[in-house]
Amino acid sequence: MPIQFDAENRVFKLDSASTSYLLQIGPFDYLLHLYYGAKIPDTDLGYLAYTCRHASVCPRVTMDEPYFSKDLHRMEYSCNGCGDFRGSALSILRASGTADTDIKYVSHRISRGKPRLPGQPATYAAEDEADTLELLCRDEVSGAEVTLFYTVFANHGAMTRHTVVRNASEQPMELQRVMSTCVDFHDARDMDFIHLWGNWGRERTPERAPLLHGTQSVASKRGCSSHAHNPFVALCSHDATEESGDAYGFHLVYSGNFLASAEMDSDGGARVLLGINPEGFLWRLEPGESFCTPEAVMVYSDQGLGGMSRILHRLYRNNLCRGPWKNRERPILVNNWEATYFDFDEKKLYELAKTAADLGIEMLVMDDGWFGARNSERAGLGDWYVNENKLRGGLGRLTERINALGLKFGIWFEPEMVSRDSELFRRHPDWALQAPGRQMSIARHQYVLDMSRADVRDYLFGCMKQVLDHANIAYVKWDFNRSLTEVGSALLEAGRQQEVFHRYVLGLYELLERLLTAYPDLLLEGCASGGGRFDPAMLYYSPQIWTSDDTDAIERLDIQYGTSLCYPVSSMGAHVSACPNHQVRRTTPLKTRGDVALSGTFGYELDLGKLTDEEKEEVRRQCADYHKYYNVIHNGDLYRLISPWKDRARCAWSFVSPDRREALVTYVVMRGGVYERHYLRLCGLDPTLRYRVESSGQVLSGAALMNAGLCIPENLRDFTSRIIHLKAVD
């Protein structure tokens, strides 16, 4: 059984194929953390508990127990104000006005499968894929009942956690802080802390530093997961590489404000906390009401950062993404944005579609500017009706003509926003987030709609339905182009305004769920000024997310490489764009742009009519390669071979099919040298098999390719690339 209870030692043991997680009902019925790491057979690990006398500054529960202190022991779910002075997972403000919180074990339940999280995205599993442990705890003084949920994915090396707090008292209480997961490590002095930082156009850059005494944390209070930080952190051993060493990954399935922290205490232990950011959060629970946290994903690998990444990739592809596009081959698209910006009509779109069809592209996406009085970013958001001065004959007629060319049709929406200059804002100014007496901040000439309101969501769904019901639309790009400010709701009383950030996110999820229920075959792509809301929660609704507005192939090496630390390639929106690049003005070969974009969902972001005949042939080849290599790229295992940050000269990665009989290698030179030789050691192959290199016909063993390496017999220049395809021979 993946989950066992050793009644004699009062130990819970949660096993996957490669990991074990142990916790114990300790003294006074407090839950203690014992172990998380590589799989072990033992259940009696009580010897790991703190057994030394401690200083008087560390409070005891009673005078009769000299060894137990919540400030020193590894607590399974830490609480505030009752003797544990490290970061708290739970803090409840009682009706008395005090925030002392103290939970103890009451009972447990072990079941097959995985429960759904009410109103929130989460991983899912069939009964034979996962098992779940529920630990019911209680704070006898406040009356709070706290249930800790643990789900083990036996075949993935992954587990998930979330927490439900119920007010079982007769008085209201307020949650100040409620984390999704808390993990205490016994000794973290040899560990590094990794997170993903960034900004617009440079999202998800890994940063690694030794874990220090005190607290290292990343967070967002922007109302979204953000360009600046991702809701992901990792701890790894100092010696961890891509393919060896211990690596722990912690990821929050949430699209709003988050906090991820690692705190090393004085004796070298460390506490990891992950959940909703407590800043700007206070949630009232009336008697009988419950609050459910977002889900946290936890993985461990003894095969380095690459092993950690591959566990997350498989879990997200198989047990987070859903719907028909989870496994279906996605269409190659061309988006008109960089080709036309706001300056388009039905004639320009049709001409773009005709060229696309001739080149093997499968879908035209009409971006911003098709609705209301939207001829620039200054007006029109919220007025979601077709501008027939631009699209004469209407959207239905245009989609029919595009479909007749053999192309699908897609469309851009930004439902959560409203322009100051719009019919909607003039009619309903109270529908925008705002604080009484405070001037509303403006960004991109727009405000943010209050997604916590049902009437706002009803309006948006009605507008989208009107469009989708009257045109054959296969794809929607859902954009989000500014952060939340002056976060107040006209419908909520003063005592609940600190709930708006979270209620906003729940409202977003409700609208997304409603849309996909009504249009189950719709392919949804997430976007937030590029990659500003690239998080696991959005993958639950949109199996692909626009990775960054920076489409330069060389910049994308950094962005896509960093994103792959926790997200599968199948989720990364990646397009071939125009040169000189519109963001950084760099000129790169069309082949390189295609090779880099191929490691993503793949498409085009340029004016196809401006291509030369030679470039059009290259596009045809790229489209053919997309279909040829789709399975190994989107369903294979990713191996990061050379980091783009290693020497800023080259970058390489590969995909290996699940049966290890096929591999695809991408090699990009950022800065070439004089008479430079290029060797590349591969990973993940079967050492006993022999592989034919498609381009040369050379046959080499997997052992030779992984140990001696692959030779690229060319003096490659700046910004050039090669794709190398290998298949096993019998």
Identified catalytic residue from 479, 535, 550, 595: 479
CA of 222: how far to CAs of 122, 488, 638, 649, in Å?
Answer: 22, 14, 32, 35
Is there a contact between 210 and 327 (Cβ–Cβ < 8 Å)? no
- At 647, the amino acid letter reads D
How far apart, in whole angstroms, are the C-alpha atoms of residue 138 and residue 704?
59
Active site residue 549: yes
Length in residues, the chain: 730
How far apart, in whole angstroms, are the C-alpha atoms of residue 142 and residue 146?
11
How far apart, in whole angstroms, are the C-alpha atoms of residue 146 and residue 604?
49
β-bridge pairing 603-605 and 575-577: parallel
Identified catalytic residue from 184, 549, 550, 558: 549
Active site residue 192: no
How far apart, in whole angstroms, are the C-alpha atoms of residue 59 and residue 66?
10
CA torsion sign for 531, 532, 535, 539 is negative
End-to-end CA distance of the chain: 39
How far apart, in whole angstroms, are the C-alpha atoms of residue 425 and residue 434?
13
How far apart, in whole angstroms, are the C-alpha atoms of residue 33 and residue 46?
10
Helices (H), 376-497: 394-404, 423-427, 454-468
Q: Which residues contact 258 (CB under 8 A, 6 or more apart)?
A: 219, 220, 225, 231, 252, 274, 275, 276, 277
Q: Which two tokens stand for residue 164?
A: 């439900």
How far apart, in whole angstroms, are the C-alpha atoms of residue 292 and residue 60?
31
Is there a contact between 677 and 646 (Cβ–Cβ < 8 Å)? no
- Other CB atoms within 10 Å distance of the CB of residue 462: 10
Q: What does the buried/exposed string (b/e) look like for 228-253 if buried means 16 or more CB atoms within 10 Å of the residue's CB?
A: bbbbbbbbbbeebebbbbbbbbbbbb
**Active-site residues: which are they?**
479, 549
